Amino acid sequence: MKQHRYRITVEHLADAHGNPSTHAAPLQFEAGNHDDILAITERMRGRGDFDADTATALAVGLKLFGEVMLENRGHPLFAELAPHFRDFMKRLKQGAQRPAFPQEPPPSTW
């Protein structure tokens, strides 16, 4: 399968308490994907569901995870998750399913 190639870099900036990182070097690896992750990230940002950083993290994480699952579809680790992941991706591609107004509880019959 032809793939787009990416170099992924994760740099630890600070720990959960705000202290500067003590890691010597960023984590860096190469990965392939059948989709253009940068274009998908732009579309995800443009949807307005999340702020730009959250939309980017979601798009990149889903595409990297999804590709691993696709390339290893016969692995038992993914057997239970695969159908749910497919359903989630279908809903995501359809767009946000938000009600126009919050649901109000039915009037009391007391």
* Domain spanning 4-94: CATH superfamily: Protein of unknown function DUF3861 (3.10.20.850)
Q: Which pLDDT tens digits describe the chain residue by residue (110 residues)?
A: 799 999 999 999 999 999 999 999 999 999 999 999 999 999 999 999 999 999 999 999 999 999 999 999 999 999 999 999 999 999 998 886 555 445 555 555 54
Compute the C-alpha angle 72/39/82, nearest 5°: 25
What does the domain layout of the chain look like in residue ranges?
A: 4-94
Least Cα distance to 62 among 45, 46, 77, 40 occurs for: 40
For the entire predicted model, the pTM comes to 0.80
- Contact (CB, 8 A) for 82 and 88: no
